[in-house]
Amino acid sequence: MTLDQIRNEKREYFLNEFNGAALVGKIVKRERVNVNDFQMFRYTIRIKEYWLGIKFPTVVVYGEPEEQVFRSLRVGSSCGFRLAIGKTYFFTPYIYENKLQIGLCDFAGGGSDPSSYPATEFRKIMGEANRF
């Protein structure tokens, strides 16, 4: 399979099957909250760029704390990424129980530098992002 074929396949997946969002945003708030009897980090993110699943300039994304991930090894965890307030990241969270959640298989690796390979590759797959 060629690189173009792989990118086209991924593009089709994100456009037709993926249920979530794709964005670059800055963490403006991080809170530890209970969600269905599990501790989670609730990240409030100010959107800088987006491709999918975003309607407003601010969004909330959930991720599990690191100690909970290693204790439970639950499917769908965020690998315990603790994202820093004031930093800008690239995300592809999925929708789980009506909430955006960072997943173990997150294309962005649980929130990655927007100039790093995952974001660069995502731009090649999906084209340039939208802005508010």
pTM over 0.85: no
Token digits of residue 62: 């959930």
> How do residues 51-73 score in pLDDT, each as one tens digit?
999 999 999 999 877 655 444 44
Pairwise CA distance, residues 26 & 16, whole Å: 27
> How do residues 3-38 score in pLDDT, each as one tens digit?
999 999 999 999 999 999 999 999 999 999 998 888
Domain residue spans in the chain? Answer: 3-126
The class that CATH gives domain 3-126 is mainly beta
